[in-house]
Homo-oligomer: A and B are copies of this chain.
Amino acid sequence: MAVYTDVTAEELSAHLARYDIGELLSFKGIAEGVENTNFLLHTTGGSFILTLYEKRVDPADLPFFIGLMEHLAARGLTCPQPVRMKDGATLGELAGRPAAIVTFLDGMWIRRPQVHHCAAVGRALAQLHLAGQGFALTRVNALSVPGWRPLAERAGARADTVAPGLAATIAAELDHCERSWPKSLPTGVIHADLFNDNVFFLHDQLSGLIDFYFACNDILAYDLAICLNAWCFSADFEFDFAKGSAMIAAYQAVRPLSGDETAALPLLARGSALRFLLTRLVDWLYVPPGAVVTPKDPIEYLKKLRFHQKVASPTEYGLA
């Protein structure tokens, strides 16, 4: 939950005068997103999400994030669509924060996804990768391989307080990834954080993707590896072959993987597991005083990493 910044009805009504979305009927701070403050607005024009970008988001990245949502929505992907002001701008300022309004998406995220949900995610991810082509702006993935060593150093020996031997496991895996990371796979815009709570379903159909605030340019198949980790493990962190193979097949039906991409998938999955292990570990070890967000358990990603380390062939993920 996260309402870091307070907005008054008076301020918000004045802000909405810059838009053509009708008159404000109500607004509620919603407990969604850990990085920014979000309000659900009802206006005579419909429902919208107002986001105030808090200090963890670099304002220099906002044109990329907002432009990307506009680019993807224009190409038929169901994602929040930034609303333009009367003067054409999509980014304003409210309560001292950069602020944007996007369309509201119906749908709910699924706590216990089934095989067909994983297939729907694979399909939508491939559609996102195709729709992202031609987007003019670029953004480096700060959480790709070069970003991992500083995280590992930040955790340091304290990693072993979370699990015995974890620091050594991380050091070895980091060496392996840095040494072997593929250099010539197809790249493009990736979501980079397409976890359960960022995918909405309605009547069991995928109804939209949200939260593009980790989106960046990187290896496309790495995004699929992130989704395999996020969606295709059981509650006790065993790989679910039915879910994994369904996700990969649905992805390939829209965007077939090359031989190189297929061959690299086990390594990309290891890297993805390491990336979330590291960020969760650092969040876990350095909970800021007064934090209202409970850090996620890093151990989940250690278990996933151990699975990928043992994978001998991409066929173990269900690749034909």
Identify the A interface with B (CB < 8 A): 1, 3, 8-10, 12, 23-32, 40, 42, 47, 104-112, 200-203, 292
Contact = CB atoms under 8 A, between A and B. Distances in A.
A100 to B, nearest CB: 18
A110 B29 contact: no
A102 to B, nearest CB: 14
A241 to B, nearest CB: 24
Number of this chain's copies in the assembly equals: 2
A128 to B, nearest CB: 21
A173 to B, nearest CB: 32
Contacts of A47: 42
11 contacts: A1-B31, A8-B112, A9-B109, A25-B107, A26-B104, A26-B200, A28-B31, A30-B30, A30-B40, A31-B31, A40-B40
Contacts of A24: 108
Contacts of A28: 28, 30-32, 40
A199 B196 CA distance: 37
A36 to B, nearest CB: 13
A8 B200 CA distance: 13
A183 B281 CA distance: 63
Given A29-B32, A47-B42, A110 B9 contact: yes
Contacts of A31: 1, 3, 28-31
Nearest to A47: B42
A111 B29 contact: no
Nearest to A25: B106
Nearest to A4: B1
Contacts of A104: 26
B26 A108 contact: yes
Contacts of A201: 9
